[in-house]
Amino acid sequence: MTIRGKARIAGAYEHPGRKISGKSVAQVHAEVALGAVADAGLSLSDVDAYFCAGDAPGFGPLSMADYLGLKQLRYLDSTETGGSSSLVHVGHAAAAIAEGKCHVALITLAGLPRSQPMPRPSASGLAPEAAFELPFGPTTVSMYALAARRHMYEYGTTSAQLAAVKVAASQHAQHNPHAMLPNPVTVEDVLESPMISDPLHRLDCCVISDGGGALVVVSPEAARDLRRQTVTVLGHGESPKLADNGRIDLTYTGAVWSGPRAFEEAGVTQADIDYASIYDSFTITVLQTIEDLGFCEKGKGGAFVADGSLLAPHGALPFNTDGGGLCNNHPANRGGMTKVIEAVRQLRGEANGPVQVPDCELALAHGNGGSLGTRSGAATLILGREGA
């Protein structure tokens, strides 16, 4: 079975807040849910499927469905793959819709890591890898720094090339009134920012923000009754990349598998993509992902990003036109949701004016969860403009 054309994204909403005080995580989930269903021209009473990940408080989808008053549900999914969860959810929702199990699926994400403490997940010490990894004190940034350093060793990638990713994101963020870091930066600014974990500087790292977002995925039949322009789900791929008991190759991501699956299902090639939302937890994440998705040869990502290819609206691969996780926001420390939202905006022609890609018909959104230095989960979506 294929999901190509079997489901459409009808609603998309991003919370405007970057520091949200006086509200609970559940409240932010509710706000983005209401925003997305309103954007679709629907209401919560129309929702018959609900998707969330580990950021949802309480007993996951059961607690949130009760809190949101979703009384008509007949399908639930709480798949957890970190930052790629929302893209996985879109693919799963499209598959469930294609099988006739539901017609209107709501996907929500929310978190308050900036305004509230972030306790270490209680399950981390019980994970099977914990005894082998936690004694050495790994951190998120150090694991990505390992991947960056290895890529430099293997392919000659430079810190200046990594910085070009941040520069492009910042050029786009200046047009986003909600961006957490709206000021453009230069390569020199990135290289002169404090070193966090060699070779990654502070400006190579994503922001930490409160916020959230939500999507509504519907059947073609449900879409026909809506006045809102919808976006067609054309292809989806997902894949884990495992640590392999320490024998991990740090130079590639799970996109080497999720990408080809999404392209094959969609029936398009890299040359057909007008816009790309690429997960940008760190600059190295973008560079490796672009290579693994096939937009340039392996090892050539540094040269690709350094020549302005990522700049909107006329670069070879305009990316993250909202500023991405590097400049706009990274709600709940999970940037996949906003990647889909900005792809939807581009296909609807609703991106911020100066960075709207002309005649945008096909968009790719990609998320990565976990860590490039250990184990991670990749998910890729190919989306098409309605009627394209």
The tens digit of pLDDT for each residue in 82-102 reads 999 999 999 999 999 999 999
Determine the average pLDDT of the residues in 60-75: 97
pLDDT of residue 133: 84
| 276 assigned to some structural domain | yes
Determine the average pLDDT of the residues in 43-49: 98
* pLDDT at position 123 over 90: no
Residues 6+ apart with CB under 8 A from 218: 7, 8, 9, 10, 40, 42, 97, 103, 104, 105, 226, 230
| 123 assigned to some structural domain | no
User: What tokens were used for 76?
Assistant: 């639930």
Q: CA 267 to CA 261: how far, in whole Å? A: 10
* Residue 337 structural domain: 8-115+205-385
| 335 assigned to some structural domain | yes
pLDDT band at 6 (very low <50, low <70, confident <90, very high): very high
| 48 assigned to some structural domain | yes
pLDDT band at 117 (very low <50, low <70, confident <90, very high): low
pLDDT of residue 386: 85
Please tell me the least confidently modeled range out of 52-56, 72-76, 202-206, 242-246.
242-246
Nearest to 219 by CA among 12, 3, 2: 3
| 376 assigned to some structural domain | yes
pLDDT of residue 119: 56
Quick one: three-class SS letters along the chain? CCCCCCCEEEEEEECCCCCCCCCCHHHHHHHHHHHHHHHHCCCHHHCCEEECCCCCCCCHHHHHHHHHCCCCCCEEECCCCHHHHHHHHHHHHHHHHHCCCCCEEEEEEEECCCCCCCCCCCCHHHCCCHHHHHHHCCCHHHHHHHHHHHHHHHHCCCHHHHHHHHHHHHHHHCCCCCCCCCCCCCHHHHHHCCEEECCEEHHHECCCECEEEEEEEECHHHHHCCCCCCEEEEEEEEEEECCHHHCCCCCCCCHHHHHHHHHHHHCCCHHHCCEEEECCCEHHHHHHHHHHCCCCCCCCHHHHHHCCCCCCCCCCCCECCCCHHHHCCCECCCCHHHHHHHHHHHHHCCCCHHHCCCCCCEEEEEEEEECCCCCEEEEEEEEEECCC
Task: Give the C-alpha distances (Å, rounded to integers) separating 23 from 5, 17, 35, 68, 115.
Answer: 38, 11, 16, 15, 10
Nearest to 234 by CA among 204, 201, 269, 207: 269
Percent pLDDT > 70 in the chain is 98
Count of the separate structural domains present in the chain: 1
pLDDT of residue 122: 45
| 28 assigned to some structural domain | yes
| 198 assigned to some structural domain | no
Percent pLDDT > 90 in the chain is 91
Could you read off the pLDDT of 323-342 as tens digits, one per residue?
A: 999 999 999 889 999 999 99
* pLDDT at position 377 over 80: yes
* pLDDT at position 346 over 90: yes
pLDDT of residue 128: 87
Q: Quick check: 61 and 50 in contact, CB under 8 A?
A: yes
pLDDT band at 131 (very low <50, low <70, confident <90, very high): confident
Could you read off the pLDDT of 11-27 as tens digits, one per residue?
A: 999 999 999 999 999 99
CATH of the domain at 92: 3.40.47.10
pLDDT of residue 152: 98
Partners of 362 in the beta sheet? Answer: 384
| 175 assigned to some structural domain | no
Could you read off the pLDDT of 209-236 as tens digits, one per residue?
A: 999 999 999 999 999 999 999 999 999 9
Prediction pTM value: 0.96
* pLDDT at position 314 over 90: yes
